[in-house]
Structure formats: C-alpha cells, structure tokens
Amino acid sequence: MVRLALLYAVCFGIAVYAWKDWFKSLCGLILLAAVIQHPDIPKTMFGLQGLNPWNILLFIVVLSWARNRGVEELSWDLPRDITILLLLYLSVVVVGFYRMMTDQAFLLANPAVGLASEYLINTVKWVVPGLLLFDGSRSRSRFTLAIFCVLAVYLLLGVQVIRWMPPSVALSGQELSARSLKILVNEVGYHRVNLSMMLAGASWAWIAILVLGKLDIHRVLIFTAFLALAYAQALTGGRMGYATWGLVGLVLALIRWKKVLLLVPITILVVISVVPGVGERMAQGFSTDTRDSGPAVADFQGGDLQGADLYTVTAGRNIAWHFVVKKIKEAPVFGYGRMAMQRTGLTDMLYDQYGEEFPHPHNAYLEMLLDNGLVGFLLVVPFYIVILHHGISLFRDSQDPVFVSIGGVSCALVLALLVASMGSQTFYPREGSIGMWCSIGLLLRVYVERSRGFSWEKKESPGPDDGMFWTREPESR
C-alpha cells in the first residue's frame, strides 16, 4: 500500500536524522501518534510481538538521546518529589502486572509474551517521550517546536474525524452515534470515547498557546485550530467527552480566563446549531422515546431517577459500576491486580446476565481501586494533583508567555483525563495519553527553570540550536 510505504519512508528518515538531532526526531516520533493506531499500520513485524515501526523508532531515538547527553552536557534534574511520585506510579503498574501474571488461569488463556508486551512495555513506553522532552527542552526554539508538535497530533486527529464524519450525519443524534461508533475506530484507529476525551482537552490547549502568537495571523490560525477541534470533538458523539469539554473550559476560565466564561456558552450554542446531533446525544435517556433498556436492565434498575433512564444516560455503566463497587469492597486495600475486571469473572457475568460487554469498569477511578486497592489509588492520584498544582501555578504566572502557555496546555490535557475518567478512560498510560505525558514533561522543564530564576532571554550561541536559551536574570532585576 502506498501510505504504508510512505510511513516506512518517514520512519526511516526520522531514524537516520536522529543521529544528527535526536530532539527533532523525537518531535517527529510524537507526530506519528496521530496515525499509529490506524488499522493499516502494522502492530507486529516478522511475527514478533511489539516489533513495529513506532517502537523501533522510539528505541533509536532513546539510543541517540543517551549517546548525545554528554555532548549536550545535560544533567538529569527532575525534582525529587516528582521522581518519587513517578517511581511510586511505576511500582503500582509493575506490582499490578506481576499479580496478574501469577494468575495461572488467566495465563492459560493468554500468552505470557503478549501480556508482557501489552500490559507492561506498552504501558511504560508512552511516558518515555515526555521524559525525553523534559530533558531536552532547554531552549525556547526546542520548547516551541515541542509544544506545537504535541498539539499538532490532536489537530491531525481532528482533521481525520472531520474527514470521516460528514456534516450530513451531524444532523441526527442517532446517525451521529452509529457512524462515530463504527467508522472512527476503523478509519482513525481510536475509539470515539477516547477521541472525544482527547479532543476535549486539546481544543482548550490550543487556546492556551494564543499567548505565544506574535502576529495577528498566528493568533488567527491558533483560534481556527481551536474551532476545528471543537467541531471535530462534537462529531465524535462521545457524551462524556462533551461534558469534559465544558468542565475543562469552565475550570480554566475560573483560573485565569474570566472573559472566556462567555466563550463556553456561546461555543455550545454554535456547536449545537451546527451539529444538532450533539443536543440529541446529550438528551438521550431523559425522555421516554430515547430509552433503550431491556427487561433485565429494568429489573436491575428498579425504576428511574428523576425521570431519567440511568441505563441509557450512563450507556449501561450503572450496572457495571454496581458490581465493581461490590467487588472492590471484598478486597479494598490491595485489590486483585491488573485486569481484575476480567480475571474476577465480572466481565463474563455482566455479559451472561445482562448482555453487556465490559472488559474494564469504564471508570478509571474504580478500575484503579479494583486492580490495586486503596493503596494503589493513593500512590497514583497524588501525582496528578501535584502536576495540576504546578500547572495552575504556571498558568497564572504572567511573567512570560511560556509559563502561561504550558501551564494552560498541561492543565487542559490533565483535567480532560481526570474528568473523563469518571465515565471511561484509565490511569494506565496508553496511546491516547501520549500528548498529556509530553505536556507534563514540558511543564516540568519550565517549572524547574522558573524555580531557578531563569527566563527566556536572547543570546548568541555557537551550537546548532541557537536563538533563545534559558539564561539567568540579571541581578538588577
């Protein structure tokens, strides 16, 4: 296929260039996240699990980074508290994986190599680009390149959504739901629920970088990207994503963008006018003609809640959550290990009794409690709280547009995950969260440099990355 040959050519070019400039190749690697989930992109090569173009390219970039750190005189300066939180986070992933691998019944049904690739290597690898960005983004030119590449991933995904979701399907909530559920995963590679969350945070992230626009044309292009992503997000048909978009915008407006409070309702009205199906999707379950619960579900529910059909409103999650909470209470401290939903029999039970397919709880908080108990939950959630704290601190700091931009971007993407996790998502890193982890890496770099009293200031440089470097502020300031 032509596009597959093009992918190999691009990956080869990025791999070769990595030995000249690992950072630019890293940015190219990040951009590929917009297409790597497409069904046409090979997930394995030569029959080897985990051997694919993106993984190979990541390995080459890491090698080049390790080789050139000494040349660039880079020192690892990740704050100690963040290092501890990341190691605790990793320990939860590793221990949960180990406990899963000790389940002999689960191992009999699933190859050990495949489990290691999917639930350990593929979990950890999505964090690596963010750590490399933290280590390498030590100049304004590198920072600018990185942040635009990260946000360009979401823009490319949004363009694909618009490409495959014609305006005609946006007129009906039923058509919008049916086509987004079938087409997006087959043509874009991401499920509509994940796309809706990703684009919900990304649209506000683009607004956050308006402060980096030096010319009016730059600001116009950035705002156009915001509108395109808001439109694409509406076309995903993901109801939890719609709520996430509104809540993220509201929180960011309360933190800094007071004037943007007007933009939220105006944008909602415009989107509903342009995409009427959004209003119909959000109204599902609140009227008798939009209910789709069957007899078994009706018996389980035992009635409505203030006139709303909970089964339709939550897309069946109310049933799954009921049994997940009961199972959590049976092992509240340490949980059951990774993939507990399937290994404890909950998935099979829900399908046999209610005809519902729930391979995971569709709630990241409940999933973490089910898999790792209260201990794992308390080791993971503080990381996001600290990152949000740093993000808000930078977002409110008007000393430099860089502070505002990365603070806003990271807050938007992290908040999107935290809000959407109430109805879907997972706290185990995966392909849909690579942009968020990259923004966290950039956030931490700027946070570290700000804490040292550094600012962006122009100076001559003999190196290839000349231009704007971190330089200490003069004493007179």
Q: What is the pLDDT along the chain (477 residues), one digit of tens a residue?
A: 677 888 889 999 999 999 999 999 999 999 999 988 888 787 777 767 777 889 999 999 999 999 998 888 888 999 999 999 999 999 999 999 999 999 988 988 888 888 898 899 999 999 999 999 999 998 889 999 999 999 999 999 999 999 988 887 777 667 777 788 788 888 888 888 899 999 999 999 999 999 998 888 999 999 999 999 998 998 888 888 888 998 998 899 899 888 777 777 787 787 777 777 776 666 666 655 555 655 455 556 544 555 566 777 777 788 889 999 999 999 999 999 999 999 999 999 988 888 888 888 999 999 999 999 999 999 999 999 999 999 999 999 988 899 999 999 999 999 999 999 998 899 999 999 999 999 999 999 999 998 887 554 543 333 434 334 444 333 333
| Gyration radius (Cα) of the chain, Å | 23
pLDDT on residue 289: 57
Q: At what angle do helices 192-208 and 216-235 cross, to 10 degrees?
A: 160
pLDDT on residue 463: 40
What single string gives the DSSP state of each residue in 309-324?
-HHHHTTTHHHHHHHH
Contact 39, 186 (CB under 8 A): yes
d(CA 132, CA 66): 10
pLDDT on residue 299: 55
Q: For 136, phi and psi rounded to 5 degrees?
A: -100, -15
d(CA 195, CA 68): 36
pLDDT on residue 468: 41
d(CA 360, CA 368): 11
d(CA 267, CA 270): 5
Q: Which of 445, 449, 468, 446 is nearest to 394 (CA)?
A: 446
pLDDT on residue 8: 85
Q: For 400, phi and psi rounded to 5 degrees?
A: -150, 140
Helix (H) or strand (E) holding 459: strand 454-459
Amino acid at 351: Y
pLDDT on residue 174: 75
Q: Which of 376, 405, 377 is nearest to 391 (CA)?
A: 405
Classify residue 464 by its DSSP letter.
Answer: T
Amino acid at 403: F
Classify residue 119 by its DSSP letter.
Answer: I
d(CA 203, CA 245): 8
Distance of CA 157 to the CA centre of its chain: 12
Phi-psi region of 275 (alpha: psi -120 to 50; beta: other; left: phi over 0): beta
d(CA 146, CA 153): 11
pLDDT on residue 458: 42
pLDDT on residue 452: 81
Alpha-carbon dihedral 275, 220, 408, 364, rounded to 10 degrees: 30
